[in-house]
């Protein structure tokens, strides 16, 4: 009955951690050509924003904010991997093939995501717009008739809700903090406002997919996202800026001058050493 080797403190064991599935939706099979193109819109938005946020690592105002931005970047990179993995299933390409071996005109990201990091206020204003858009989009997409898109969106929505909170908290502190922080966030909101409209433009592809219940029509996101943006602006005691919308055309591969620089940095290593692993 009594074991002479028993530890008087009781057994101490280290349980093996159960690792969850890394790529959401990877069991959904092969995407149709239309769904693959749409998944590229979604994956490229997340990929470019993740790459941009990565710049802040070691450069944020404090170490803790460094970690917060890196965490968000990694969440977004996870969404991008899942969407691009699914997009690539239609053409036999991996998510790395799509990220590293497409050229600028083949990227489908909207212009908001390629806008410069600017100062911390610009990054936060971009995070607010992007996160509110992702939240509304993924909430709807979690009910998509396409099983792959639905699975990725259902996992991503919990993460982007946290990103919304992070951006809102900083919006409030910058807008209601010092004269300098308020001046900077006012400039940042005005600089990024022109890129909101592109997110809500319907096109032929989203029209076809929405009719089948697979995609969320971009136009249907305008009211909920803009209401949420304006609610944050009101709490920040900021006015919506009166600036014209950008002619942005990211969904058809027409990009601003910013994307080329981002891709050059993101792709240089993979292209210099094709197939390298570490």
Partner 1 sequence: MSTPGADPREPWPLWEVFVRANRGLSHVHVGSLHAPDAEMAIRNARDLYTRRNEGVSIWVVSAEAVTTSDPGARDEWFESPAGKNYRHARYYEKAEGVRHL
Closest CA to 226 of 236, 240, 237, 216: 240
Q: For partner 1, give the closer residue by CB, 63 or 272.
A: 63
178 lines the binding site for partner 1 (CB under 8 A): yes
Q: For partner 1, give the closer residue by CB, 177 or 207.
A: 177
- Using alpha carbons only, how large is the chain's radius of gyration in Å? 21
Interacting residues with partner 1 between 140 and 169 (CB under 8 A): 165-166, 169
Q: Closest separation between CB of residue 37 and partner 1, Å?
A: 34
204 lines the binding site for partner 1 (CB under 8 A): no
Q: For partner 1, give the closer residue by CB, 67 or 269.
A: 67
Q: For partner 1, give the closer residue by CB, 5 or 15.
A: 15
Q: Closest separation between CB of residue 149 and partner 1, Å?
A: 27
Q: Closest separation between CB of residue 177 and partner 1, Å?
A: 5
Burial 44-75 (b: 16+ CB within 10 A, else e): bbbbbbbbbbbbbeeebeeeeeeebbbebbeb
* CA–CA gap between residue 102 and residue 35 (Å, rounded): 18
Tokens matching residue 145:
């008739």
Let me know: does 195 contact 112? Beta carbons within 8 Å: yes
Sign of the dihedral through C-alpha 203, 135, 64, 24: negative
Interacting residues with partner 1 between 53 and 82 (CB under 8 A): 61-65, 67-68, 71
Q: Closest separation between CB of residue 93 and partner 1, Å?
A: 31
Q: Closest separation between CB of residue 78 and partner 1, Å?
A: 13
* CA–CA gap between residue 190 and residue 241 (Å, rounded): 6
Q: For partner 1, give the closer residue by CB, 37 or 65.
A: 65
91 lines the binding site for partner 1 (CB under 8 A): no
Instruction: Tell me how many degrees the CA angle 52-54-56 measures, rounded to the nearest 5.
Output: 95
Which residues contact partner 1 by CB under 8 A? 17, 61-65, 67-68, 71, 165-166, 169, 173, 177-178
């Amino acid at each position: 009955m009594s074991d002479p080797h028993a530890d008087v403190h009781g057994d101490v064991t280290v349980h093996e951690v159960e690792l969850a599935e890394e790529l959401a939706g990877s069991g959904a099979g092969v995407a149709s050509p239309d769904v693959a193109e749409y998944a590229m819109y979604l994956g490229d938005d997340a990929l470019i924003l993740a790459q941009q946020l990565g710049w802040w690592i070691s450069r944020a105002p404090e170490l803790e904010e460094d970690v917060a931005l890196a965490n968000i970047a990694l969440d977004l990179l996870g969404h991008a991997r899942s969407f691009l993995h699914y997009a690539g299933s239609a053409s036999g390409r991996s998510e790395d093939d799509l990220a590293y071996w497409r050229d600028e005109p083949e990227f489908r990201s909207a212009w908001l995501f390629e806008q410069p990091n600017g100062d911390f206020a610009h990054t936060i204003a971009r995070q607010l717009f992007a996160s509110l858009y992702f939240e509304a989009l993924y909430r709807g997409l979690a009910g998509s008739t396409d099983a792959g898109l639905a699975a990725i969106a259902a996992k991503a929505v919990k993460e982007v809700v946290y990103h919304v909170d992070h951006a809102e908290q900083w919006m409030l502190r910058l807008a209601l903090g010092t004269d300098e922080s308020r001046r900077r966030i006012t400039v940042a909101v005005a600089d990024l406002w022109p890129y909101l409209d592109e997110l809500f433009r319907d096109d032929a592809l989203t029209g076809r997919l929405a009719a089948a219940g697979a995609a969320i029509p971009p136009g249907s996101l305008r009211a909920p996202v803009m209401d949420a943006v304006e609610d944050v602006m009101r709490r920040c005691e900021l006015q919506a800026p009166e600036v014209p919308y950008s002619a942005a055309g990211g969904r058809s591969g027409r990009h601003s001058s910013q994307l080329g620089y981002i891709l050059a940095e993101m792709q240089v290593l993979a292209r210099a050493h094709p197939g390298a692993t570490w």
